[in-house]
Amino acid sequence: MSVVISGALTDGAGIPMSGYHIILKSRVNTPEVVMHTVADVMTGNDGEYCFHARTGKYGVYLCQRQ
């Protein structure tokens, strides 16, 4: 089964944070997800992002574009 993870990244004042990488990294092996699988999206102008991922356990990481 797959899921959609989406939203908008904002700072504490509600201002969109564009140009950030949001990274999903699988934490366990399952029949559907291999451990250390990585998905990486960059937030858009309004901070929006969208992932399509298999059901599983993931670590979520945020990195500012260099």
The per-residue pLDDT for range 11-47, each reduced to its tens digit, is 999 999 999 999 999 888 877 777 767 889 999 999 9
The letter for the amino acid at 2 is S
| pLDDT for the residue 13 | 98
Measure Cα distances from 52 to 13, 41, 56 in Å.
28, 10, 12
Q: Which domain holds residue 37?
A: 2-64
- pTM value is 0.79
Number of structural domains the chain divides into: 1
Name the CA dihedral angle for 45, 60, 51, 26, rounded to a multiple of 10 degrees: 150
The per-residue pLDDT for range 38-66, each reduced to its tens digit, is 889 999 999 999 999 888 888 999 998 76
